[in-house]
Amino acid sequence: MSGEKQRTKRVCAAYLLAAAALMIAVTVSFCVGKYPISPQELLALMTGGEVKEMTRKVFFTLRVSRTWMAVLSGAGLGLAGAVYQIIFKNPLASPDIIGVSSGANLGAAVAIVAVNGVMGSVAAGAFAGGLLAVALVMLLVRATRSTATSTYVLAGIIISALSKTGIMLLKYFADSEAHLAAMEYWTMGSLAAVTASRVWEILPYWTVGFAGLLLLHRQIQLLSLNEEECQALGVRLKPVRRTVLALSTLLVAAIISVTGLISFVGLIAPHIANLMIRRRDTHTMLLSSLIGAVVMVASDILARALYAAELPVSTLTTLIGVPVLVWFMCRRKEGRI
């Protein structure tokens, strides 16, 4: 009983710490930018006080939607990363393991070349590309008639390779001045172009994917067992796995269709959650989403604050993620994980 109480206290403490960090990060995000907003002005905005009209416009038009998108994207990528690591039984699994990111990248590249990156077309192309990539993965798996987890990974590698080949061909034939820069910028990820309308456009898809994964938390945990144990417990392995992959793909595709490719968030958030509570279960999934949101908001703050010109947010998530992974590798070598 004492051990269970200790685990419960650890989980509660982890939730409180992550929630507090997220609240602090969101508050700082509201204030930081080319047009800074002081804490006093922020308090006035929250309480309906008097502030400059420009401050009000910057806050409600730019900062709220951008910060909200950072929270949604970090939470979604963190949850998806935890789900992938559980069902693939691989601590290095991430949202691009079955071709979501590469498919979205190809879809965005096609939109950039075909319609010169018209507003909304890149997001639509990325969303369609991500969904199509996973649909092809599932078709390949069905063709092999295999239920092994490794089959999904191999199919994902095949589709990713084909997507990357398509991207290379598009880059070769694309206009170097009009298209190449846009392709490269999209792959680096950014929240600079986020608007309230774009957040509302992807919110239904994000909600379906996020809520669906949480509702299937028990089935997701059972997928971490071997096939015989799943079948003995009454889990219909193929349909459950396909449903979970479809929901996680919908979630990730909705996010990166707006933000561009974001590295490492879905990979490191579950590791940090696991280190905090020392378990891999539903709490890990929820905590991963909170930590992912913290990492994403913090990265976006640094992207705005470190340099006169805004940095790509994916470079900051990589800088945060690499030390975490190096530390994780060292601990595994020592046998402490």
pLDDT number for residue 117? 60
- What CATH superfamily classification does 2-333 receive? ABC transporter involved in vitamin B12 uptake, BtuC (1.10.3470.10)
pLDDT number for residue 147? 66
| Pairwise pLDDT comparison (97 vs 299), residue with the higher score | 299
Give the pLDDT confidence of 299-313 residue by residue, as tens digits: 999 999 888 778 889
Of 7-21, 37-51, 95-109, 170-184, highest mean pLDDT:
7-21
149, 214, 223, 258, 297 from 132: Cα distances, Å: 20, 24, 24, 17, 29
Are residues 55 and 64 in contact, defined by beta-carbon separation less than 8 angstroms? no
Compute the distance between CA of residue 266 and CA of residue 252 in angstroms, rounded to an integer: 10
Nearest-CA neighbor of 189 among 124, 270, 101? 101
Cα(first)–Cα(last) distance of the chain, in Å?
24
Examine the pLDDT at 274 and tell me if it is beyond 60.
yes
Give the pLDDT confidence of 111-165 residue by residue, as tens digits: 888 877 665 788 788 888 888 988 898 888 888 877 676 787 888 889 889 988 9
Compute the distance between CA of residue 8 and CA of residue 2 in angstroms, rounded to an integer: 10
Q: How confident is the model at residue 260 (pLDDT cuts 50, 70, 90)?
A: confident
Q: So where are the chain's domains?
A: 2-333
Compute the distance between CA of residue 304 and CA of residue 61 in angstroms, rounded to an integer: 17
Give the pLDDT confidence of 22-55 residue by residue, as tens digits: 999 999 999 998 888 988 999 998 888 888 889 8
